[in-house]
Amino acid sequence: MTIKVALAGAGAFGIKHLDAIQLIDGVEVVSLVSRELEKTREVARKYGIDHCTTELADSLALKEVDAVILCTPTQMHASQAIACMQAGKHVQVEIPLADAMADAERVVALQKSTGLVAMCGHTRRFNPSHQFVHQRIAKGEFNIQQMDVQTYFFRRTNMNALGQPRSWTDHLLWHHAAHTVDLFAYQCGSAIVQANAIQGPMHPQLGIAMDMSIQLRAASGAICTLSLSFNNEGPLGTFFRYIGDSATYLARYDDLFNGKEEKIDVSKVAVSMNGIELQDREFFASIKDKREPNASVAQVLPCYRVLHGLEQQLARQQ
């Protein structure tokens, strides 16, 4: 069976998914949705996609579409995920699931009532570096005592990862913090029971905090310190330090080092070194196997409860 996919959002992250899907057997992208039709057609031609449109509804109306991947602006994620499931399509929505708790709950409720596969792109669960650590934890060989995480970008103007103007505003809390909040609970295997946050000044044009600091404590007793910034001129990206009872690990995207900066070979952890490809493979495998995927919307919902609580806490500080 070939799974036929519609992909919405032909920007920087949509391209990553299109590249990943080309490496996966039994999957075909048959429809591409994005904001500007001519640019959408250009991407569609490059990837051999016959149907392109500026309206998600046009893709959802195609009977042959089995599943949808949403790489659209954050503010559209929940409503579009709901529209996909209402049309009978499986859906993978890029992180974050929503930027409001009530919307995230609506997505999860609809998934439960339809039984469709609904997954959120919490890529850190799939990166080989973090999978290596997860496997050691599962074997009882490593227990987290502390995670120290830095998420740093330089985004004083509204640009995407390709240096192109964005049509929407990114968010440190609801997007970038979501990666670490979910990963921390996932790796600890226990709920987050305490969370604190402070933020720096609001950007006068973008209307968001450009710097933020978050503290987390899991029921296991492990703690996490997360620093986020859109003001940092480099190096860029997210850098994880796992401090445990038997080792220290430094995870940088798909690479992993020990505390002595010696590189650890993670090439055999999974079938690919590409976290996006592994994430997509899980989505399509869960559709074929009719099972709940890792990073299902239900599994990641606790992360958004924590973000909601932090948002309320930050609002009280203003």
My answer on whether 8 and 75 are in the same domain is: yes
The answer to the question of residue 301 being in a domain is: no
Q: Which residues contact 19 (CB under 8 A, 6 or more apart)?
A: 276
Helix (H) or strand (E) holding 247: none
The answer to the question of residue 316 being in a domain is: no
**Which segments of the chain have a pLDDT < 50?**
168
* Domain of 251, in residue numbers: 127-269
Helix (H) or strand (E) holding 23: none
My answer on whether 111 and 141 are in the same domain is: no
* pLDDT on residue 251: 97
My answer on whether 241 and 154 are in the same domain is: yes
The answer to the question of residue 304 being in a domain is: no
My answer on whether 251 and 222 are in the same domain is: yes
My answer on whether 231 and 162 are in the same domain is: yes
DSSP-based three-state secondary structure for 298? helix
CATH number reported for the structural domain that contains residue 15 in this entry: 3.40.50.720
The answer to the question of residue 15 being in a domain is: yes
My answer on whether 116 and 199 are in the same domain is: no
My answer on whether 36 and 51 are in the same domain is: yes
Strand arrangement, sheet containing 248-252: 192-199, 211-218, 223-229, 144-152, 237-244, 248-252, 255-258, 263-264
Six-digit token pair at 117?
A: 């596969």
Strand arrangement, sheet containing 67-70: 51-53, 27-33, 3-8, 67-70, 90-94, 118-121
* pLDDT on residue 59: 98
The answer to the question of residue 237 being in a domain is: yes
Helices and strands: H and E segment counts in the chain: 9, 14
My answer on whether 174 and 262 are in the same domain is: yes
Residue where a domain terminates, one of 233, 252, 269: 269
- pTM for the complete prediction? 0.93
* pLDDT on residue 160: 54
The answer to the question of residue 214 being in a domain is: yes
Q: What DSSP assignment string belongs to 250-289? A: EEETTEEEETTSPEE--TTSSS-S-HHHHHHHHHHHHHHH
Contact 250, 261 (CB under 8 A): yes
The answer to the question of residue 315 being in a domain is: no
Number of domain units in the chain: 2
Distances, alpha carbon 244 to alpha carbons 114, 130, 188, 248, 259, in Å: 41, 14, 11, 6, 11
CATH number reported for the structural domain that contains residue 221 in this entry: 3.30.360.10
The answer to the question of residue 313 being in a domain is: no
My answer on whether 136 and 194 are in the same domain is: yes
